Amino acid sequence: MPGLVRIVQGLLIHAFWAGFYGVSLAPERDEERHLRSAAQILDRIRGLDDRPLSRARPADGSLICICRHFTVLMIALLRAKAIPARARCGFATYFKTGRFVDHWVCEYWKEPEARWVLVDVQLDDLQQAKLLMNFDPLDVPRDRFLVAGDAWAFYRDGRADPSAFGLGDEGGAWWIGGNLIRDLAALNKIEMLPWDSWGAMPRRAWSPTSEWLTLFDRIASLTRALDDVFGDLRECYAQDVLRVPPTVFNAVRQRVEPVPGL
């Protein structure tokens, strides 16, 4: 596992952390963080540098991305080795005190211990030092990263202010709900961009009806129980308002874009 994590870290650089590595991002390379599929990510990496993937790239030659791309590439490598793995969308507590920050991590099945383990592939030695990490990013505690279903339960139970969930100064129940649908899609092997929007995805100033709250409560329940109710989770995802359509709205680019493979 440490070796695979190092390979991924040697190929990618997080757009928001680039300055810490002495890298200035060229505007024309911003498109890289909008790549969706593992195939697109790998094609771009090889386009930048066609050496074997095991060769770490210099920081300014790495693919520009966000946390979600670290996760997508990691689960592709794990699945290629027949290790069960999935992307989880939710919120991390270790980036900013008092905030639940929008984030993605990898979850894989650790056979010797018969349990699912969270891995934050993005957190290399530099980032761990900057964040004063006090846990192993190869086994992230469940209270340090909340999958979206747990975050929704925190909000619904009144255990946390929904405005604390988001990114920067922006957040709210609508953001938790959006990540809940993204996590549902990821558990069905459709890992979307954090700014992709479709179907029942909540918008700002969301005022959910009791019917919508019931639906989101069910999604949260299924994505938390998960392996015990996977058939029900698949059935839930099949609903038109939840299933990822062939095209989605990219909120950063403000345009409709196709989803690879759909």
Q: What is the pLDDT of residue 191?
A: 98
Q: Name the pLDDT band for 205 (thresholds 50, 70, 90).
A: confident
Q: What is the CA radius of gyration of the chain?
A: 18
**CA separation for the pair 48, 29 (Å, rounded):** 11
Q: Look over the chain and give the mean of its residue pLDDT values, rounded to a whole number.
A: 96
Name 112's Cβ contacts closer than 8 Å, sequence gap at least 6: none
Query: Which of 167, 128, 147, 160 minimizes the C-alpha distance to 71?
Result: 147
Query: What's the pTM?
Result: 0.96
pLDDT digits (tens, 9 = 90+) for 19-45: 999 999 899 999 999 999 999 999 999
Average pLDDT score over residue span 195-213: 92
Q: What is the pLDDT of residue 207?
A: 86
Average pLDDT score over residue span 56-69: 97
Would the pLDDT of 208 be above 90?
A: no
**CA separation for the pair 72, 16 (Å, rounded):** 18
pLDDT digits (tens, 9 = 90+) for 113-172: 999 999 999 999 999 999 999 999 999 999 999 999 999 999 999 999 999 999 998 999
Q: Name the pLDDT band for 235 (thresholds 50, 70, 90).
A: very high
Name 15's Cβ contacts closer than 8 Å, sequence gap at least 6: 25, 30, 33, 64, 65, 66
| Domain map (residue ranges) of the chain | 2-258
pLDDT digits (tens, 9 = 90+) for 1-10: 999 999 999 9
Q: What is the pLDDT of residue 218?
A: 97
